[in-house]
Amino acid sequence: MIVGPTKNKGFSLIEMIIAIAIMAIVIGIAAPTFMTWRDNMQFRQAGKELASFIRTARSRAISTNRQQRVELDVANSVYRLRPGDRATLSNWPPSASALPAGTDVSMPSDRIGLAGTNTEIVCNPNGTIDFTPVGGVSARITIFDKQIDAVADLNSQKYRIDLANTGRVSGNRVSSADGVP
């Protein structure tokens, strides 16, 4: 019987260290990209939820034949819905104390901020949307990163919601094509 060299089964210590080093390099390269993707996903989700909230208010106005008002508290990154009592020229509750508890909807993170000049969006039973302060036929709400800047400048904008007085509500991710790096 000829006895030859025995085959080693498994990995040597050097092979294991090289494999772990390669995995560490790949993870080190991918981690920042993943973190950026995750952060951007939070901003998109917040924007989509607000756009859906406005669409729901519009649908509720149509189905109940009463105005619905979405109020944006841009300073605190909070929005709320106030039902009106008529189809036009509704009377609104005088203060937040007149609203039921849990009416305010906050942005999902302290890092996410709201910006816009239109602080009240009134959805009418005929499907149109009015803006306060009044002006133009469209309005824009911006979701921005408060960690980058205290106001929604071009570097901190992440998502925007465009509103038309015809009732159209569209949300768009802000990209480098819009002038944002």
Q: Domains plus CATH for the chain?
A: 13-178 (3.55.40.10)
Of 33-42, 76-85, 102-111, the one with minimum mean pLDDT is 102-111
- Rounded to two decimals, the pTM is 0.70
pLDDT band at 154 (very low <50, low <70, confident <90, very high): low
Mean pLDDT of 120-149: 79
Three-state secondary structure string covering the chain: CCCCCCCCCCCCHHHHHHHHHHHHHHHHHHHHHHHHHHHHHHHHHHHHHHHHHHHHHHHHHHHHCCCEEEEEECCCCEEEEEECCCCCCCCCCCCHHHCCCCCCEECCCCCEEEECCCCEEEECCCCCEEEECCCCCEEEEEEEECCCCCCCCCCCEEEEEEEECCCCEEEEECCHHHCCC
Is the pLDDT confidence value at 162 over 90?
no
Mean pLDDT of 16-30: 91
pLDDT of residue 117: 74
